[in-house]
Amino acid sequence: MQKYARSNDEFCPVAKTLEMIGTPWKVMIVYRLLNGKLRFNEFKKEIPNISEKMLSCSLKDLEKDKIIIRTEYHDGPIRVEYELSTEGKQLKPLIDEMINFGNRYTNCKKN
């Protein structure tokens, strides 16, 4: 049986994961990027309740933690696209389980 570290342990893998993606906005950004690259304004359409400041800060944090890749294009007007890094793509099973849990929980609440 796997032994679980205390949550206040700086080496706790759960604490480290939450440090990287532990806000609802960061999770939603990763979730949206599972379908492919997005630009800043596309995020605002996909996640309508997020402020520009929160979106910008969340994207910078995810880039710093190497969860996403930010690419600038200079072939005309500057445009920026975001995509999941290899590490970010490894979050897919976690996001899938969150979706499954949410669906089960919603179904339980309906019954």
Helix boundaries (H) for the chain: 13-21, 24-33, 40-46, 52-64, 86-89, 92-110
- Residue 36: is its pLDDT beyond 90? yes
Enclosing H/E stretch for 73 = strand 68-73
Structural tokens at position 79:
């445009």
Which residue from 87, 34, 31, 96 is spatially nearest to 63, judged by alpha carbons? Answer: 87
The domains of the chain, with CATH numbers, are 13-110 (1.10.10.10)
Quote the percentage of the chain above a pLDDT of 90.
68
pTM (predicted TM-score): 0.82
